[in-house]
Amino acid sequence: MTRYALTIEYDGRPFMGWQRQAHGPSVQEAIERAVERMTGEAATVHAAGRTDAGVHALAMRAHLELVTKHPEPFRLMEALNALLRPDPVAVIDCRIVPDDWHARFSCTGRSYEYRIVNRRAPLTFEAGLAWRVVQPLDAGAMHAAAQILVGRHDFTTFRSVHCQADSPVKTLDRLDVERDADLVLVHAAARSFLHHQVRSMVGCLVMVGDGRWTAADLAAALAARDRAALGHNAPPDGLYFVGARY
Amino acid sequence: MTRYALTIEYDGRPFMGWQRQAHGPSVQEAIERAVERMTGEAATVHAAGRTDAGVHALAMRAHLELVTKHPEPFRLMEALNALLRPDPVAVIDCRIVPDDWHARFSCTGRSYEYRIVNRRAPLTFEAGLAWRVVQPLDAGAMHAAAQILVGRHDFTTFRSVHCQADSPVKTLDRLDVERDADLVLVHAAARSFLHHQVRSMVGCLVMVGDGRWTAADLAAALAARDRAALGHNAPPDGLYFVGARY
């Protein structure tokens, strides 16, 4: 038995999300199909995070185990990339890991990036790859307000009703907002996140950025611990899984 | 009669190029159709550069003239953007200019960027938006060799057989190569370029970068003034029109 850790980049636009679905294509299914075509083995590919439909990854971490075949990691990566065509999924790193290394359960930190394009004109290159916000955003005010959310809190307000986590209490390590011309980037890091947490936090930060909310409104929404207090849930388009720590 | 200058961003992947074609969609046709739907006028849209099939623009400059209708520039821009959907074309600036201002003939400088992704893994987000080069490239050697091409030269070697320019002599103002992680960027600027000149120069610089050519080979190819001396013509995917000077 050989366990391989993969680092995977994918454009989430054509997928129903990471996780295998009965009703549409998923990234997991695309990779598992490539693994099976190469090795004949029906291996399960476990990821550090199960991204939603339309969410992207620059460096998703995942693992799989092969029982009868033990290709060199480089050869496995090359074969998977050839078999994944034309899906917008690429294996950018592959290595052998100990049998107890688990992409999801061994992960001690996850980070996401959220891309907002703040302009009037419709998106061309970034259609489906960013959230276009037409109202001018005050990124400085967004960054300042974001610091209210950093730390250990009950994030019920920022949690999808479909969230399966045992507890709504999470520790947010980082929530930074920076502007580079038309691009407003939000960086989020935590050991783990609730379902829709990043998108819900970004949606509320945009309400601060365009002046509909003050920082005090954001603090009140957090304190409410009530999904109904959520200002806005940002679309999946702008969300990228950018890294996992082990 | 009112003359409008437009700044246009477009993803070249679905188009046969800027110029109207009998056999497929063009950016010019998409914009002219939107203008006609808005104003009822069959205006011609003139661009600073006529990009080839699959070539992109971050800020193409163009102009058009309206005879009977004279919308406010902001309203014209908004209407064109609405009518251009779902084509990946966006008008990002629109203003009224004097009647003798011509996007092509008044232009005194054009600049292009060429994006190379230097990695083994297939492209996902950048498929059709960059040239993937698998062999490791020495960007420093490419930049040094590029300086051979800067200045006034007979660029016959770097000119398509379909080029319609009167003379193969052009003055190249800038040809810089820089690396940012996997991305190798080439910046080119000149008053004007021959057909395929940027792609031909980039193709040869990549031969220098991967070690097939020395800087002396590049100098010899330039001196040959012979299309047969060309090392390689880079694909359109990585080419972006990034600006015009007036």
> Which tens digits make up the pLDDT trace of A132-149?
999 999 999 999 999 999
Question: Span B213-229, mean pLDDT?
Answer: 96
Sequence-ordered list of residues with C-beta below 8 angstroms from that of A240, at least 6 positions apart, any chain: A55, A56, A57, A58, A112, A113, A114, A115
The answer to whether the beta carbons of residues A71 and A39 sit under 8 Å apart is: yes
Q: List the domains of chain B with CATH numbers.
A: 2-97 (3.30.70.580), 109-245 (3.30.70.660)
- Cross-chain residue pair B89–A125, CB shorter than 8 Å: no
Whether the predicted pLDDT of B164 surpasses 90: no
User: Cβ–Cβ contacts within 10 Å for residue A136, how many?
Assistant: 12
pLDDT at A153: 98
**Which of B81, B119, B127 is closest, CB to CB, to A121?**
B81
**Closest-approach residue (CA) in chain A for B56:** A125
Question: Span B160-174, mean pLDDT?
Answer: 93
Banded model confidence at residue B40, pLDDT cuts 50, 70, 90: very high
CA distance A238 to A200: 12
* ipTM score for this prediction: 0.91
| Catalytic residue (choose from A52, A93, A217, A237) | A52
- Cross-chain residue pair B122–A85, CB shorter than 8 Å: yes
**Which of B10, B119, B124 is closest, CB to CB, to A124?**
B10
Half-sphere exposure of B169 (CA within 13 A, CB side): 1
> Which tens digits make up the pLDDT trace of B113-126?
999 999 999 999 99
B86 prior amide bond cis, ω within 30: yes
**Closest-approach residue (CA) in chain A for B182:** A92
Banded model confidence at residue B173, pLDDT cuts 50, 70, 90: very high
Q: Are strands B239-245 and B56-66 parallel, antiparallel or unpaired?
A: parallel
Whether the predicted pLDDT of B187 surpasses 90: yes
Active-site positions of B read 52
Mapped onto helix, strand or coil, the DSSP state of residue B196 is: coil
* B92 neighbourhood in chain A, CB within 8 Å: 119, 121
Question: Any known ligand binding at B4?
Answer: no
Taking one residue from A and the other from B, the number of pairs with CB-CB distance under 8 angstroms is 50
